Amino acid sequence: MSGALAASVLLLSAAPAQAEKYPKLGKDVVFTPQADHSADAGALIWVNRPGAAKGISKVIIPFFQVQFVIDSDTSANISGGASSKTMVKLVGPTPEQMQAITDRLYARFIAGLGTAGLRVVSPDAARAFPNFVKLQDGGKPSGTKVDGHQGVNSLFFAPKGMTYYYLPTQDIAYTGAGSFGGFQTAMLPPKEQALMTESGAAVLGFRAVVDFASLKSSDKGFLGHFRSSAKTSASAAIAIRPIATQMWLMTPSAKPGITDMLNRMRFEVQAPLMIDTDAILSMDDARTRGDKRGEALGNAASLLFGGGMSKTRKYDIVVDPALWERDIEASLNGVADMMIVRLKGER
């Protein structure tokens, strides 16, 4: 398949078959990790297809992933050559902690679905269905680093014994979209639909995005490229990202296809959840002497030839690994609980 055709498939697959009345993204919400957020489900979780879960009593889960952003960057440019770039990197947590969080979240999520009255096909039992095996065998190994769009690079995790695969969301920065694989990804819905038929269960997926910084660029917005200066900035902020953090269901009345992969019942977080935590220890300048010297020499040469100035900033955001793990896990539990509350109400 040509690159242009593959891109066309992805653009088509990322749009629901019928235009959704998509809600306006909410403002940042301070999210207390250990609090009970069940009562917040109505305000923080948006459901795109109300009623599509009616009569559902059994689910099968081929798709469960947690995306941990580990480094990202943003840039700005103006005419004349002036530019600014800010880069951030997470320091402290380990892949082993991320895997452990994912495993415990998955186990707790399955238990929560059961408490809500749903029968969950276990992973071992699910392997009796050929299309569950196809989805898993075609997936990526847990812990894979993905260089995504818009400078967001992440580690993706699935529960132990499972793989993960990519599906588009309305937020391309937080989906690993740089690794979709074109036609191969567009062919996932037929396998998911076949799995629903084989198992007699609704197909359920869950994904969450955990970030550690907020980046800003003067390029953002309609007038970004017309500004008189190029500016970027970063702040340390542990957060669960909206839109791409979601639970979805494929049911007889909500079935995606090759050209409408989002046409599934989705329960999406609709505001950035800023985790109230003491885990952040510092935000350190990570530029080396070589970085600073190279920038100074480059700017001197640029000025000599009438060009613009460039500025690059690098930061290490250092967190306490134990506090980070505790508060991230508790916050993800709160998000999953809210989604299950909304699902229970839809049944």
**Mean predicted confidence (pLDDT) in 105-109:** 98
What is the pLDDT at residue 299? Answer: 62
Q: What is the pLDDT of residues 296-343, one digit of tens each?
A: 666 666 666 656 667 788 899 999 999 999 999 999 999 999 999 999
What is the pLDDT at residue 43? Answer: 94
Helix axes of 95-115 and 321-346: crossing angle, nearest 10 degrees: 30
Within the chain, how many helices (H) and strands (E) appear? 9, 14
User: Long-range pairs for 130-135 at CB < 8 Å and ≥24 separation?
Assistant: 130/194, 130/198, 131/191, 131/192, 131/194, 131/195, 131/198, 132/60, 132/62, 132/195, 132/198, 132/199, 134/191, 135/62, 135/63, 135/165, 135/188, 135/191, 135/192, 135/195
Evaluate if residue 119 carries a pLDDT over 60.
yes
Instruction: Identify the band that residue 5 occupies on the pLDDT scale cut at 50, 70 and 90.
Output: very low
In 138-264, alpha helices (H): 183-186, 188-199
In single-letter form, the type of residue at position 213 comes to A
Radius of gyration for the chain, computed over Cα atoms and rounded to the nearest angstrom: 21
What is the pLDDT at residue 79? Answer: 62
Q: Are 179 and 166 in contact (CB under 8 A)?
A: yes
Evaluate if residue 289 carries a pLDDT over 50.
yes
Instruction: Identify the band that residue 147 occupies on the pLDDT scale cut at 50, 70 and 90.
Output: confident
Q: What is the pLDDT of residues 193-213, one digit of tens each?
A: 999 999 999 999 999 999 999
Residue-by-residue DSSP string for 243-268:
TTSEEEEEBTTB--BTTBTT-SEEEE
Q: What is the pLDDT of residues 47-93, one digit of tens each?
A: 998 999 999 999 999 999 999 999 988 888 766 667 778 889 999 99
> Percent of the chain beyond pLDDT 90?
58
End-to-end CA distance of the chain: 41
Gap between the Cα atoms of 201 and 250, Å rounded = 9
Instruction: Identify the band that residue 228 occupies on the pLDDT scale cut at 50, 70 and 90.
Output: low
- For residue 203, which phi and psi values (nearest 5 degrees)? -90, 125
Closest to 65 measured CA to CA, from 106, 93, 95? 106
The dihedral built from the CA positions of residue 255, 193, 181 and 151, taken in this order, carries a sign that is: positive
170: which 2 tokens?
A: 């309305």
**Mean predicted confidence (pLDDT) in 8-35:** 69
